Amino acid sequence: MRTGARARFVCACLLVASPAVAQSTTEDGIRAALGGDYQAAARILKPLANDPIKPDPVAQFFLAILYDAGRGVGPNLGRACSLYLRSASRPHPFSEQAATNGGLIRDQLGSGAAFECVVDERWQGGPPLTFTLGPDHQIVFTDTSVTVAYGEQESRTTMIPPEAAPPRVQYTPLDVTRPTATRRHFLQWFQWMPDVASPSSWTLTWALSEVVGEQWLLVTFEKSLAAVKGPTRPESYETTSLVQLRVNENGEAEFTIPGPSPRTEVIPWPPKRR
């Protein structure tokens, strides 16, 4: 454990002696952490800290401690920083310590804090875009990150907000029988981009990715799925005629791009990392 994280962890343990810390389920998470069962603590605290309607600031504080120290979850300073500062935005017994810890990490991250330590994570002006893939399995899109949570495992990809038109994300699960019977989780990413070679023209890019466990993996990318002319980007469009995902007659997942040069490809399993 890093020296700074260790000091913050010890400080948090001392603060737990304060009365009336939070509701009982949050207390259960804190007690699990103090008892050394960090995975149980993370499992209890995550839904309370990440509640989209009423997040618990105390749960946010102690979940931040776990990310900071790398206990029960993978060490993630950006995630810890965000949780500390969200926790500090509401009054509770640990809000002052949360602000201090968050500020220390934000300074440590330097210029990267703008993308890694995001307090108010949004998706195109609204709440984060969440797809539930199964029990304890979800992927969450924000303007600056993509996070996959799978049981006690988690991966987070930091992104730079797009300067062009915001993307549209579509989730497509497919139940395949080959090469093994399972449900596969595909995400399609559609985005209109200005055509630099042709003024007043727009091209639709398409990316296909798959979630496997806690990993978000790129399958393939199409630079120009469609093109239109006009002074402004298209506001709405129908994509089923442009690309199709399905289970073929052999029970495998495949995609088809009809287009002027149609092609169909089987999506390999396990997907290749790109």
Q: How does pLDDT run across 167-221, given as a tens digit for each residue?
A: 899 999 999 999 999 999 999 999 988 877 777 788 899 999 999 999 999 999 9
The reply to whether the predicted model has a pTM over 0.85 is: no
Buried b vs exposed e over 4-14: b needs ≥16 C-beta within 10 Å?
ebeebbeebee
Buried b vs exposed e over 34-71: b needs ≥16 C-beta within 10 Å?
eeebbebbbbbbbebbbeeeebbbbbbbbbbbbbbbbb
In this predicted structure, what is the pLDDT of residue 114? 84
Instruction: Please tell me the distance from the alpha carbon of residue 183 to that of residue 81, in angstroms, as a whole number.
Output: 35
Residue with tokens 């088809």: 256
Kind and range of the H or E run holding 60: helix 57-69
Instruction: Please tell me the distance from the alpha carbon of residue 162 to that of residue 168, in angstroms, as a whole number.
Output: 12
Provide the residue ranges of all domains of the chain, joining segments of one domain with +. Answer: 3-116, 161-266
In this predicted structure, what is the pLDDT of residue 61? 96
In this predicted structure, what is the pLDDT of residue 257? 93
Pairing of strands 137-141, 145-150: antiparallel
Q: What mean pLDDT value characterizes the chain?
A: 86
pLDDT surpasses 50 at 18: no
Closest CA to 219 of 256, 263, 268: 268
R_g over Cα of the chain: 22
17 — pLDDT class (breaks 50, 70, 90): very low
